Amino acid sequence: MSTKVLSIFGTRPEAIKMAPLIKQMEADAGIDSVVCVTGQHQQMLDQVLELFAIEPDHNLAVMTANQTLNGLASRLIASLDEVLASVQPDRVLVHGDTTTASAAALAAFHRRIPIGHVEAGLRTRDLAQPWPEEMNRRVVDVMSDLMFAPTPSSKERLAEETLQGRVVVTGNTVIDAPNLTPARIDSDPALRASLDARLPFIDGTRPMLLVTGHRRESFGTGFANICAALGDLAELGTVQIVYPVHLNPNVRGPVQASLGARRNVHLIDPLDYLGFVRLMQRASLILTDSGGVQEEAPALGKPVLVMRDVTERPEAVAAGTVRLVGTQREAIVRAVSALVDDPRERERFAHRVNPYGDGEASRRIVAALTGRPFDEFASELAG
Ligand code: UD1
Ligand code: UDP
């Protein structure tokens, strides 16, 4: 008898991190894998599904332009309830900390369906940062009977809370798909050339700063500061800035207004995952508020400055390849300039490290789901 596992996800980062696990489940005779995408993201989700050749069994298409969190959450719960009723899964899997994850967990909990949480135990311990994600991941863990903690330290953070589920340390699935992403690009010069040809304006002889930024807690003043800092850096002229701008209108509006006409700044649409991984490879330095990029860039040996005051991913900070710079204009300009002006400091900062996984996370999760034995992931930073 196979276990019917319903995976529910809806945003770009969830899709990137669930894709290797879904492939592993599809290949396992012990699991009957069913995929429901909520469509919390529309275009950005489709890009990932296409790349990983995932054809969802259910697509709820809940996204509306400039959606509110409550509007989104209520549409999610209503439509997910119908899917749960028709699929009747033995277990639901959700990922991370999005509104899709918390709404799907609640919908499953109301139907007494066991919940597995992939990427459990990330915490800043501050409900305001990242907002609302810190709340989403905490409530999912409260409802889960199986928590897949990516690292030993995320397991320790779960141990601080009163939770009823079992915790296993698996590594992060984002490190699982090397053949699909960095290694595929490295081994295929024609692919590399075609990805580079999509961004012909990048000057390969000058340092390049890759920027991503979209966090809700930075809307308003935070984004004004970030844009002002990027304007200052563009004016200095020592670095070319490439910024794939998130489709959220609360991000696109201010970024376009402030930086759209700046020389040295290239604002582009979000890239598909292969294109973005290639851009990370080409970058001298990455400035971001993204969670996923904090995990991927150290594995590529790239230095990362994080535009946040706290992070739920302390491992790469401890390893010395990620630094927190906050969202103050002067602090961002100072930190970026110091690294752009001093290639040796950049080299010191940019060693390759992989504290988040060893490529086996999906295999461990499937073993846990099917009751097979496995060794937990031991981070290279442990001890
Ligand atoms: C969401 C997640 C955040 C995650 C991020 C990844 C929540 C509360 N937030 O934030 O944790 O880090 O996704 O990107 O779940 N839009 C499009 N097309 C798309 C995607 C977005 O047009 O493919 C626009 C729409 O107008 C949409 C808006 O962006 O209403 C905001 O999307 P939403 O998912 O609500 O918030 P994010 O900021 O993306
Ligand atoms: N990413 C992408 N295209 C882009 C920008 C980012 O494919 O133009 C990928 C990135 O490699 C990472 C994920 O999207 O895996 C991060 O998504 P995001 O920053 O939206 O969310 P977060 O990680 O903060 O939840």
pLDDT, residue 383, reads 38
Residue 42 and residue 10: Cα distance in Å, rounded? 8
Cβ–Cβ under 8 Å, residues 297 and 352:
no
pLDDT surpassing 50 at residue 352: yes
User: What is the rounded distance in angstroms from the CA atom of residue 155 to the CA atom of residue 148?
Assistant: 9
pLDDT recorded at residue 179: 57
Instruction: Give the single-character DSSP code of 216.
Output: G
Residues of the chain with CATH 3.40.50.2000: 3-178+359-370, 182-349
What are the structure tokens assigned to 90, written together? 């033995």
pLDDT at residue 351, rounded to an integer? 77
State which H helix or E strand residue 329 sits in.
Answer: helix 329-341
Q: Is the CB of 264 under 6 A from ligand 2?
A: no
The response to whether residue 98 sits with its C-beta less than 6 Å from ligand 1 reads yes
Ligand number nearest to the C-alpha of 250: 1
Check pocket membership of 212 for ligand 2, CB cut-off 6 A.
Answer: yes
Cβ atoms < 10 Å from Cβ of 203? 8
Max Cα-Cα span within the chain: 64
Structure tokens at 91: 């277990």
Cα 231 to averaged position of ligand 1 atoms, centre (Å): 25
Task: Indicate the residue type of 245.
Answer: V
> From atom 9 of ligand 2, which residue's Cα is the shortest distance away?
273
Q: Give tens-digit pLDDT for 216-245.
A: 999 999 999 999 999 999 999 999 999 999
Count CB atoms within 10 A of the CB of residue 328. 16
Q: Are 240 and 202 in contact (CB under 8 A)?
A: yes
| Mutation test residue for ligand 2: of 118, 280, 293, 322, the one with most atoms within 8 Å of CB | 293
Instruction: Rounding to the nearest 10 degrees, give the CA dihedral for residues 31, 34, 37, 38.
Output: -110
Which ligand has the nearest atom to the CA of 273?
2
* Ligand at shortest distance from the CA of 9: 1
Q: pLDDT tens digit string along 12-32?
A: 999 999 999 999 999 999 999
In DSSP notation, 267-310 reads EEPPPPHHHHHHHHHH-SEEEE--HHHHHHHHHTT--EEE-SS-
pLDDT confidence of residue 354: 83
CA 28 to ligand 1 centroid distance, Å: 32
pLDDT for residue 348: 85
Distance CA 180, CA 185 (A): 8
Give the closest residue to 52 by CA, choosing from 175, 181, 182, 190.
181
Whether domain 3-178+359-370 has CATH 3.40.50.300: no
What CATH homologous superfamily does 182-349 map to?
Answer: Glycogen Phosphorylase B; (3.40.50.2000)
What pLDDT score was predicted for residue 382? 46
Instruction: Return the pLDDT at 346.
Output: 87
Q: Considering only CA atoms, which residue is closest to atom 17 of ligand 2?
A: 13
User: Residue 12: CB within 6 Å of ligand 2?
Assistant: yes
Give the closest residue (by CA) to ligand 1 atom 2. Answer: 98
| pLDDT tens digits, 49-106 | 999 999 999 999 999 999 999 999 999 999 999 999 999 999 999 999 999 999 999 9
**DSSP readout, 131-198?**
TTHHHHHHHHHHH-SEEEESSHHHHHHHHTS---SEEEE---GGGS-TTTTHHHHHT-HHHHHHHHHT
Which atom of ligand 2 is found nearest the CA of 290?
A: 24
- Report residue 359 as tokens: 């490529």
pLDDT tens digits for 327-350? 999 999 999 999 999 988 888 888
**290 Cβ closer than 6 Å to some ligand 2 atom:** yes
pLDDT at 380 over 70: no
Cα dihedral across residues 228, 230, 234, 236: positive or negative: positive
Which phi and psi angles does 115 have, rounded to 5°? Answer: -120, 130
The dihedrals phi and psi of 349, each to the nearest 5 degrees, come to: -70, -30
Q: How far is the CA of 292 from the centre of ligand 2 (A)?
A: 6
**Per-residue pLDDT, 181:** 82
Provide DSSP, 83-146: HHHHH--SEEEEETTSHHHHHHHHHHHHTT--EEEET-----S-TTTTTTHHHHHHHHHHH-SE
Q: Hey, whose CA ends up nearest to atom 24 of ligand 1?
A: 248
Please report where in the chains the tokens 């999005």 appear, as a residue: 98
| Residue 13 near ligand 2, beta carbon < 6 Å | yes
Ligand 1 atom showing the smallest separation from residue 43 Cα: 23
| Residue 214 CB–ligand 1 contact under 6 Å | yes
Residue 368 binned pLDDT confidence (cut-offs 50, 70, 90): very high
For a substitution probing ligand 2, which of 248, 273, 286, 300 has the most ligand atoms within 8 Å of its CB? 273
In whole angstroms, give the CA distance from residue 279 to residue 209: 10
CA atoms of 103 and 92, how far apart (whole Å): 12
User: What is d(CA 145, CA 64) in angstroms, rounded to the nearest whole number?
Assistant: 32
Catalytic residues: 97, 119, 133, 214, 216, 246
Instruction: Give the tokens for residue 226.
Output: 């970030």
Q: pLDDT value at position 324?
A: 97
Residue owning the nearest CA to atom 32 of ligand 1: 248
| pLDDT per residue as tens digits for the range 165-222 | 999 999 999 999 755 688 889 999 999 999 999 999 999 999 999 999 999 999 999 9
pLDDT 10s digits, 255-264: 999 999 999 9
248 lines ligand 1 (CB under 6 A): yes
Strand 265-268 vs strand 240-244: parallel, antiparallel, or unpaired?
A: parallel
Ligand 2 geometric centre to CA of 175 (Å): 14
Q: Tell me, using a 6 A CB cutoff, whether residue 52 lines ligand 2.
A: no
Closest residue to atom 11 of ligand 1, CA basis:
98
On whether the CB atoms of residues 95 and 22 are closer than 8 A, the answer is no
Q: Look at residues 119, 144, 154 and name the one whose alpha carbon lies nearest to residue 18.
A: 119
